[in-house]
């Protein structure tokens, strides 16, 4: 286990984020010092007695913008320029497993949670290293997105999980994961696939790879472009994709 991974979150909703760091495996990682969270309330750096942190956008338009001054003071208070700063935003690059892996190799992270229409662009220009979107939808503020990013990142740190669990997960080898089963052997007349009971390791490995290919071809054919397939695998995935597009045509989808 390496030394504690520092994660600083700048937010207007500190309680929401603190609760996350107290919960489940993350909470345990914090208890044993593997994760060192710091939650900073942006309002503590507001300049007026109403603790105002937002103002109307220059140029007009709907909504408010998180002001540069309190954000800059909050960032300076944690020495953000000496660290890796991430801003979750719908305008960012899509956040992927490879990004989580890259961030897990940093010494630590600072996450800035946006709110309203977003944050003053000058903060992005001056402090932010990465802008990431967690999906093509708009959340009302950045805390959930920050927690998604933290969660994907910290579990890839050495010693957090068994390395084989991580190796076999979705996206690690460019494919989605195979299906899982546990006891009982039969549940509501649905049985566990016979191959998994066979004890035949090579057959199980083959079956799992095939299931990965089938799932990926059905749900995320875009991922297959980056995966090396042998001739049989290529035929299998093409037949699934052909069937999926036939089904779409037949249902008018």
Q: How far apart are CA 70 and CA 30, in angstroms?
A: 28
- State phi, psi for 97 to the nearest 5 degrees: -60, -35
Cα 148 to Cα 96, 111, 140, distances in angstroms: 11, 11, 15
Closer residue to ligand SAM (CB): 70 or 114 = 114
Q: How far apart are CA 223 and CA 230, in angstroms?
A: 16
Q: How far apart are CA 60 and CA 43, in angstroms?
A: 24
Rounded (10°) angle between helices 14-22 and 24-31: 80
Closer residue to ligand SAM (CB): 70 or 142 = 142
Q: Which residue's Cβ lies closest to ligand SAM?
A: 114
Binding mask 89-128 for ligand SAM (x = CB under 6 A): xxx---------------------xxx-xx----------
Q: How far apart are CA 40 and CA 54, in angstroms?
A: 17
Taking the complex as a whole, the smallest distance from the CB of residue 140 to ligand SAM amounts, in Å, to: 5
Site size toward ligand SAM, by CB under 6 A: 19
Closer residue to ligand SAM (CB): 29 or 66 = 66
Reading the block at residue 208, the tokens are 């799992």
Closer residue to ligand SAM (CB): 101 or 144 = 144
Reading the block at residue 133, the tokens are 């979107």
Taking the complex as a whole, the smallest distance from the CB of residue 84 to ligand SAM amounts, in Å, to: 17
Taking the complex as a whole, the smallest distance from the CB of residue 196 to ligand SAM amounts, in Å, to: 37
64, 72, 139, 229: which one contacts ligand SAM (CB under 6 A)? Answer: 139
Q: How far apart are CA 27 and CA 208, in angstroms?
A: 33
Using CB under 6 A as the binding rule, whether residue 57 contacts ligand SAM is answered as no
Q: How far apart are CA 52 and CA 61, in angstroms?
A: 20
Closer residue to ligand SAM (CB): 29 or 111 = 111
Q: Of residues 140-179, which lie at the interface with ligand SAM (CB under 6 A)?
A: 140-142, 145
48, 125, 137, 186: which one contacts ligand SAM (CB under 6 A)? Answer: 137
Taking the complex as a whole, the smallest distance from the CB of residue 146 to ligand SAM amounts, in Å, to: 8
94 touches 44 (CB < 8 A):
no
Nearest to 104 by CA among 34, 205, 183, 43: 34
10, 46, 134, 156: which one contacts ligand SAM (CB under 6 A)? Answer: 134
Question: Applying CB under 6 A, which residues contact ligand SAM?
Answer: 88-91, 113-115, 117-118, 133-135, 137-142, 145
């Amino acid at each position: 286990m390496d030394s504690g991974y520092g994660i600083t979150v700048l937010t207007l909703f500190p309680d929401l984020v603190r609760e996350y760091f107290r919960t489940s495996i993350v909470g345990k990682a914090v208890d044993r010092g593997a994760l060192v969270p710091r939650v900073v309330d942006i309002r503590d750096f507001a300049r007026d007695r109403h603790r105002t942190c937002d103002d109307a956008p220059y140029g007009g338009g709907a909504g408010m913008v998180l002001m540069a001054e309190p954000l800059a003071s909050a960032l300076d208070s944690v020495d953000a320029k000496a660290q890796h700063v991430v801003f979750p935003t719908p305008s960012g690059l899509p956040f992927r497993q490879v990004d989580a892996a890259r961030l897990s190799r940093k010494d630590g992270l600072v996450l800035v949670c946006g709110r309203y229409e977003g944050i003053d662009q000058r903060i992005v220009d001056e402090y932010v290293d990465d802008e990431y979107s967690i999906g093509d939808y708009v959340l009302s503020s950045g805390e959930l997105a920050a927690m998604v990013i933290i969660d994907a990142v910290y579990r890839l740190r050495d010693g957090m999980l068994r390395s084989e669990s991580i190796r076999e997960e979705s996206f690690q080898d460019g494919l989605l994961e195979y299906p899982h089963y546990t006891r009982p052997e039969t549940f509501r007349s649905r049985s566990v696939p016979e191959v998994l009971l066979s004890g035949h390791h090579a057959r199980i490995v083959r079956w799992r790879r095939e299931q990965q290919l089938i799932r990926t071809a059905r749900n995320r054919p875009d991922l297959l472009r980056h995966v090396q397939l042998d001739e049989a695998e290529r035929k299998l995935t093409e037949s699934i994709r052909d069937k999926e597009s036939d089904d779409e045509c037949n249902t008018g989808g």
